[in-house]
Chains A and B, each alone.
Chain A
Amino acid sequence: MRASRRGLLGAAGLGAAAGVAGAAGLAQAQVAPSRLESGQADSEPFYGRHQAGITTPMQDSLFFASFDLTATHRQDVTGLLRAWTNAAARLTAGLPAAPMTPDASDPPADSGEAVGLNPSRLTLTFGFGPELFSLNGEDRYGLAARRPAALVDLPRFAGDELVAGQCGGALCIQACANDPQVAFHAVRQLARMGYGVASLKWVQSGFSTANKTQGTPRNLMGFKDGTMNPTAAAAPAVVWAGAEGPEWMNGGSYMVARRIRIALEHWDRMKLAFQEQTIGRHKASGAPLGGKAEFDTPDFAATDSDGNSIIPDTSHVRLAAPANNGGATILRRGYSYNDGANFVAERWPPWRQGIEYDCGLFFQSFQKDPREGFIKLFDRMSKIDALNQFTTHTGSAIFAYPPGVQPGQYIGQALFEAV
């Protein structure tokens, strides 16, 4: 099916039903994003056991938005979620956010910039942050007791230089699409439905080559990023929460996001061999040092004749490997970002200062429990990863992504209706 967005006027009669039914008929993607091969359809299913946008093969563009909740009544929150769910089903099917009416006395129900664009594999994925459950100790919506233990407050990590305006939130929307305008359009429509209930806290756009290139996509450091992602067969066990937590999260996932600024000007001065020692992989092939091919198992015990590690002790791949972290595994689904340039003082001799790119990685990881996933992995990495000399974490967030919905349900319904 190749859906296309309808004209704004006169589209009222075309329903969510047609688009949604078609979309739901597509096979649910269940592969780890790094192993995507080309040849997707234009739309991703919205309804299903799990939300799309997690194990869905990565799209070209990300627009992520975190929201504060200003509502004082629980019904306002559930009303918004119901509206978001309905609109998301339409938007992901290539339809305007709401049926359009030609009434010139009202603002248009859809802002219109996606007219003529196809669904572009848009996924809209929703998450609940700690601030939904309580804010400054206040249980605004009677949900505090239902906060999952796995939705922890992230600890402070070594080297964190977090900017308050780039952290946390009560609700989030993760829009991914092969067209950046489609992704932004979707968030824009949903955000305007929240006027008076939810207000934007921070946003982040991003881009990836995963959809265009064969194999593992490369980040802005030029290295393949995500080689150690679980395979399609292994991903469900890594990603999806099960019966170990609250029932309303069964089939959902926990997402940890980190906005990681990368000192590209510093990195670009480094010799290739040093870059490879820092990462622990060869740049061109992605093979671990000492190996030949990208998916060779890194030999962390290998040493040279003097007994020194072939894959350096502080290399990124050594510190990130599940094999060196008690099996801790996460699904990475990060997008590079480019937010212009601003003044920076580098942290190392010769301490260059000046206008540098505000670029890097909007890291997103999915796991069934961050305490056994990201937090476990990143604690040691934050301290001794050689890569830290080039990276600075400026934003951080954790969200519980509830399971998917079926037609007639709304996102998070089981949370709000749980006894």
Chain B
Amino acid sequence: MNIKPNRSFHPPRPPSGQTSPAPNPGTPKSFFGYFFFKKSNILFPCLAASLLAAPPALADQSFLTSVKKHHLLTSTQPANGDQNPYALVVAPVTAGTVQKDDVLVDNFNNNGNLQGTGSTIIDYRPATGQTTVFAAIPRDLPGCPGGVGLTTAMTMLSSGWVIVGSAPSTDGTTKTLGAGCLIVLDANGKVAGTIAGPQIDDPWGNMAVIDHGATAILFVSNAGFGIGAPGQPVQHKATVLRLNLAIAAGKPPAVTSQTVIGDGFGAQADAGVFLIGPTGLALGGNGALYVSDAIGNQVVAIPDAATRAGSAGQGKEISKGGLLSRPLAMGFAPNGHLLVVNGLNGQVVEIDPASGQQLGAMWIDADEAQTPPGSGDLFGITMQPDGKGFYYVEDDVNALVQAQ
């Protein structure tokens, strides 16, 4: 919901479900150990509770402090009524019906709002402001066990192929969860193939990609292993899988090898949000793959992600708790910081991956129709090509929003 987090009525809430009254946000002041910025509604870790402004050094280093404006770009609902936007991908090239810098958004729910049943990808074209349907994928797809319910796992390669994950259900819950697959689409949105197998079980989180054109490496989290129906305890079976692809001219990508580079992540079936599991993947310049561990409420790093021969288990803790509140999709800001959106409130959190320090959080969805505001609304996030801002989705109003 593109109601601006406003100082007068979108007060910050404590990040971990506390319910104490929020302070009057008319002036910046300390609040549960965080600073609330009047102008930008950014929460900053409080180094000294008596300060009336954020630590200048931190503010100077922050990407989020430069973000002021939130603008709803388009409804993400296509004519078939699919809803609950998840993945966001900025097209790296012009190919087929897609133009470079178009924003592709997929939907996880169908028109009855059943999770795990969405089957469409829309294409928003910033150049014209127009939105079209890029792909309407058959719900029963041979090679995709359980059907189609499009997840946050989506990418477009420089060769023009689009790859999108499916974590399918037939009743909107994990009672009917199938293992799903990765669906390969051509640049016209037509299904060109599927990728499935024992190591793929509900590919879930936003993908990280190394794209060399004729070859590519995908990183994808798999959150479905053994989670069962809602009400079951957390399972520590979720993985991060590396897929090496070969893309021959005119041929869909073919998997040349698969390697589990992370495992033992917590995942759980959930009656409200379908499932909770590792979601955000972002590849750092240091070769580490950063993973948002939603169950563990932390961000971890898997070193040497592109080259390692085996699993790093649950990786190394980078940042835990604090402003994080069920971290979901994640990406890198131009300053090298991680931006990760929260599932349990409408905030995006900025983290310095080198130090693990949380620089601040911004209410990008402060919709008070949810408690806490924006809870359950955020999922995908991706940077604008010019680096000046980012795109994100809002489930509460099924919309693509730009912040810059």
Interface residues of A (CB under 8 A from B): 156, 158, 266, 270-271, 273-274, 277-278, 304, 306-309, 312-315, 347-351, 380, 383-386, 388-390
0/1 per residue, B356-381, Cβ < 8 Å to A?
00000000000111111001100000
B68 within 8 A of A: yes
List residues of chain A with CB within 8 A of the CB of B2. 309, 312-314
Provide 16 A-B residue pairs closer than 8 Å at the C-beta atoms, listed in order of the A residue: A156-B81, A158-B398, A270-B368, A271-B9, A273-B6, A278-B3, A309-B4, A312-B3, A314-B399, A348-B369, A348-B371, A383-B398, A384-B75, A384-B397, A386-B3, A389-B369
CB-contacts of B333-387 with A (<8 A):
367-372, 375-376
List residues of chain A with CB within 8 A of the CB of B77. 158, 383
CB-contacts of B23-82 with A (<8 A):
39-40, 68-72, 75, 77, 81
Contact B396 A348 (CB under 8 A): yes
Closest B residue by C-beta to A271: B9
Closest B residue by C-beta to A350: B371
Distance A351 CA – B230 CA, assembled complex (angstroms): 15
Contact B72 A384 (CB under 8 A): yes
Return the contact of A388 from the options B69, B70, B397 (Cβ within 8 A): B397
Contact A389 B398 (CB under 8 A): no
Distance A343 CA – B3 CA, assembled complex (angstroms): 30
Return the contact of A277 from the options B3, B75, B371, B372 (Cβ within 8 A): B3
Interface hub of A278, A308, A315, A349 (most chain B Cβ within 10 A): A349
Closest B residue by C-beta to A277: B3
Contact A384 B398 (CB under 8 A): yes
B111 within 8 A of A: yes
B8 within 8 A of A: yes
Contact B75 A386 (CB under 8 A): no
B272 within 8 A of A: yes
CB-contacts of B152-200 with A (<8 A):
none
List residues of chain B with CB within 8 A of the CB of A350. 371, 375
**A356, chain B: closest CB distance, angstroms:** 15
Contact A349 B371 (CB under 8 A): yes
List residues of chain A with CB within 8 A of the CB of B69. 306-308
Interface residues of B (CB under 8 A from A): 1-4, 6, 8-9, 39-40, 68-72, 75, 77, 81, 83, 111, 113, 272, 367-372, 375-376, 396-399
**B58, chain A: closest CB distance, angstroms:** 20
Distance A348 CA – B396 CA, assembled complex (angstroms): 8
Interface hub of B3, B8, B399 (most chain A Cβ within 10 A): B3
Contact A314 B397 (CB under 8 A): yes
Return the contact of A390 from the options B8, B9, B111, B369 (Cβ within 8 A): B369
Distance A270 CA – B376 CA, assembled complex (angstroms): 17
The 5 closest A-B pairs by CB, nearest first: A273-B9, A306-B68, A313-B72, A383-B75, A389-B369
Distance A156 CA – B111 CA, assembled complex (angstroms): 10
List residues of chain A with CB within 8 A of the CB of B71. 307-308, 313
Contact A312 B370 (CB under 8 A): no
Contact A351 B272 (CB under 8 A): yes
List residues of chain A with CB within 8 A of the CB of B375. 348-350
- 5 further contact pairs, Cβ within 8 A, besides A271-B9, A307-B69, A308-B70: A158-B83, A380-B75, A384-B72, A384-B75, A389-B1
**B85, chain A: closest CB distance, angstroms:** 11
Closest B residue by C-beta to A386: B1
List residues of chain A with CB within 8 A of the CB of B272. 349, 351
List residues of chain B with CB within 8 A of the CB of A278. 3, 369
Contact B39 A306 (CB under 8 A): yes
Closest A residue by C-beta to B368: A274
Closest A residue by C-beta to B9: A273
Contact A386 B367 (CB under 8 A): yes
**A294, chain B: closest CB distance, angstroms:** 22
Closest B residue by C-beta to A349: B375
Contact A266 B398 (CB under 8 A): no
Known: A307-B68, A384-B398. A349 touches B4 (CB 8 A): no
List residues of chain B with CB within 8 A of the CB of A308. 4, 68-71
Interface hub of B9, B71, B83, B113 (most chain A Cβ within 10 A): B9
Distance A380 CA – B2 CA, assembled complex (angstroms): 15
**A309, chain B: closest CB distance, angstroms:** 8
Distance A156 CA – B1 CA, assembled complex (angstroms): 22
Distance A304 CA – B398 CA, assembled complex (angstroms): 24
List residues of chain A with CB within 8 A of the CB of B372. 349
List residues of chain A with CB within 8 A of the CB of B70. 308
**B109, chain A: closest CB distance, angstroms:** 11
Distance A386 CA – B39 CA, assembled complex (angstroms): 23
Closest B residue by C-beta to A270: B368
Distance A26 CA – B368 CA, assembled complex (angstroms): 50
List residues of chain B with CB within 8 A of the CB of A277. 3, 6, 9
Distance A156 CA – B371 CA, assembled complex (angstroms): 30
Contact A389 B367 (CB under 8 A): yes
Distance A383 CA – B394 CA, assembled complex (angstroms): 12
Distance A291 CA – B124 CA, assembled complex (angstroms): 33
**A223, chain B: closest CB distance, angstroms:** 16
List residues of chain A with CB within 8 A of the CB of B4. 304, 306, 308-309, 312
Contact A274 B9 (CB under 8 A): yes
Distance A143 CA – B161 CA, assembled complex (angstroms): 53
Contact A314 B368 (CB under 8 A): no
List residues of chain A with CB within 8 A of the CB of B3. 274, 277-278, 312, 314-315, 386
Distance A304 CA – B371 CA, assembled complex (angstroms): 26
Closest B residue by C-beta to A303: B69
Contact A158 B371 (CB under 8 A): no
Distance A315 CA – B397 CA, assembled complex (angstroms): 11
List residues of chain B with CB within 8 A of the CB of A390. 369
List residues of chain B with CB within 8 A of the CB of A349. 272, 370-372, 375-376
Closest A residue by C-beta to B272: A351
Interface hub of B1, B83, B371 (most chain A Cβ within 10 A): B1
List residues of chain A with CB within 8 A of the CB of B40. 306
Distance A158 CA – B399 CA, assembled complex (angstroms): 13
**A153, chain B: closest CB distance, angstroms:** 15
Distance A383 CA – B69 CA, assembled complex (angstroms): 22
Known: A307-B69, A313-B72, A350-B371. A384 touches B399 (CB 8 A): yes
List residues of chain A with CB within 8 A of the CB of B83. 158
Contact A386 B369 (CB under 8 A): yes
List residues of chain A with CB within 8 A of the CB of B68. 306-308
List residues of chain B with CB within 8 A of the CB of A306. 4, 39-40, 68-69
Contact B369 A273 (CB under 8 A): no
**A289, chain B: closest CB distance, angstroms:** 11
Interface hub of A266, A270, A347, A389 (most chain B Cβ within 10 A): A389
Distance A309 CA – B72 CA, assembled complex (angstroms): 10
Contact A314 B398 (CB under 8 A): no
Distance A308 CA – B39 CA, assembled complex (angstroms): 12
Distance A386 CA – B2 CA, assembled complex (angstroms): 9
List residues of chain A with CB within 8 A of the CB of B113. 347
